Amino acid sequence: MTRVASVCLAALFAACVGPNFKRPAPPLVEGYTNGELPKETASAPGGRQPGAIGAAQRFLAEVEVPRNWWTLFGSAELDALVAQALRANPEVLSAQAALRQAMENTAAQRGSYFPLVQGSFDANRNRDPTGVLQPNLASGATVYNLFTPQVTVSYAPDIFGANRRQVESLAAQAEAQRFQLDATYLTLTANVVTAAIQDAALRAQIAATKRVIALEQESVDVLKRELELGAVAEADVFALEAAMAQFESILPPLNRQLETTRDQLAVLTGRLPADYTPLAVELDQLTLPQDLPLGLPSQLVQRRPDVRAAEAQLHAATANVGVAIANLLPQFTITGDVGSTASVMSQLFKAGTGFWSIGANATQTLLDGGTAYHHVKAADAALDQAGADYKSAVLTAFQNVADSLHALDTDADALIAASRAESAAQKSLGVARHQLELGSVSYVALLIGEQTYQQAVISAIQARASRLEDTAALFQALGGSITPPR
């Protein structure tokens, strides 16, 4: 009978009220998109060379996303930018500090598992009122010193698991902060890669625009000389000057975008714009990753740090329900004191000066206006909210991957069209120049050819940049892992 009672008592002290957390099951889907995903994208002209921006990209369904995915772009300058950002970006430093804070809060709460031991020492000089009370000291002295060293031990048994649920909640919040840090790493690297690609694309567009403006200036100079000779009409000169001015008006917005992008890169790498020295990442020197590992869709929720953070928050909310329920139940406390009292320091701890006490206390709230009850209802609502947030994070993760896959598929087609348009415009411009030399066409025809070619060049640059940017977006959507900086 005693053994059964001991087992029941142990079970009571090991009990934790409230629901136990269960990890949500991953979505049971076989793919990321509606319909079968092509095994590879189309290949643009000039894309036969491995790593070329026009090369076909293959989707590998059951291969894990590589660590430090940005290195697949084959740029030492890009790698250096990412390394700078991971070391110095203030958002990374903030996330690291938040993780340390969450871990220390968890460790502090674990201290409640153990008794609280406090030491004290009181020293008093007293005078008893002899006309009212008899002297308290055995010697009968009315004026005396009193020294009392004392140790107090208090312990609150975690009978219903309130403290264990609180530790569980804080540990889950620390885990959420850990995944938030991983998400910060991932977002930061993706932003750096995208900004570096945009920087390279803008510089390429500016260079192409300047080349066309130089050609336009040459044409204007030639036409002005012919106007002096009376060989052309004045309207043709004005038309060509207007076209050149139109091309020149393209440059200021491009320069503004370039400076804005460089300011963004400065901040991402933890520097002030005035202290930032751009690293020249050239668009044509970047390697397009041809093999795109997608992993299994069911494993996406394990790879995405934002989903794992939402799962940890769901875990914390589940534990908080147990904390709120435990606060409805009786609270128990065991206390004990031991010490010595003497009127002379040298008499402390001698026979007859010692004292001790031990006691227990049980407290049950009888009436609180429904405060504890409504705390439970609030914890239930917070759990429902965390569950909805988790589902939203999962849906967003799959949407991000699907959007990136669709973008890469259409990017390949857009690059094919842009490359063909660039090639055709270049050939057409060459024909127009030759015909102008033969005198069979006017400068207006050359003007139209130059405008068409300029637009085709810029469209091709934008198409190549979009393909690289969307490849980076896919790695981000898949939760590409990152080696933390040291």
Domain residue extents for the chain: 17-477
Smallest CA-to-CA distance from 105 within 166, 159, 179 is with 166
pLDDT at res. 13:
46
Rounded Cα distance, 256 and 264, in Å:
12
SS3 (DSSP) at 37? coil
Q: At what angle do helices 251-268 and 162-228 cross, to 10 degrees?
A: 150
Q: Which residues contact 437 (CB under 8 A, 6 or more apart)?
A: none
Smallest CA-to-CA distance from 64 within 400, 303, 290 is with 303
Q: Please, what is the Cα angle at 462 between 456 and 463, to 5 degrees?
A: 85
pLDDT at res. 444:
66
pLDDT at res. 231:
65
Residue ranges of E strands in 100-159: 116-127, 143-155
SS3 (DSSP) at 77? helix
Contact yes or no for 476/187 (Cβ under 8 A): yes
Query: With a cut of 50, which residues of the chain have pLDDT below it?
Result: 1-13
pLDDT at res. 243:
75
pLDDT at res. 266:
95
For residue 483, what are its two tokens?
């080696």
Residue 31: phi and psi, rounded to 5, are -150, 175
pLDDT at res. 378:
97
CA separation, residue 190 to residues 16, 307, 320 (Å): 43, 17, 35
- Which amino acid type is present at position 241? E
CA separation, residue 428 to residues 331, 448, 463 (Å): 88, 10, 21
Q: The whole model's pTM is what?
A: 0.86
Class for the domain spanning 17-477: mainly alpha
Rounded Cα distance, 289 and 20, in Å:
44
Q: Give 343-384 as a DSSP string.
A: SSGGGTTSTT-EEEEEEEEEE----STTHHHHHHHHHHHHHH
Contact yes or no for 156/333 (Cβ under 8 A): yes
Rounded Cα distance, 217 and 247, in Å:
11
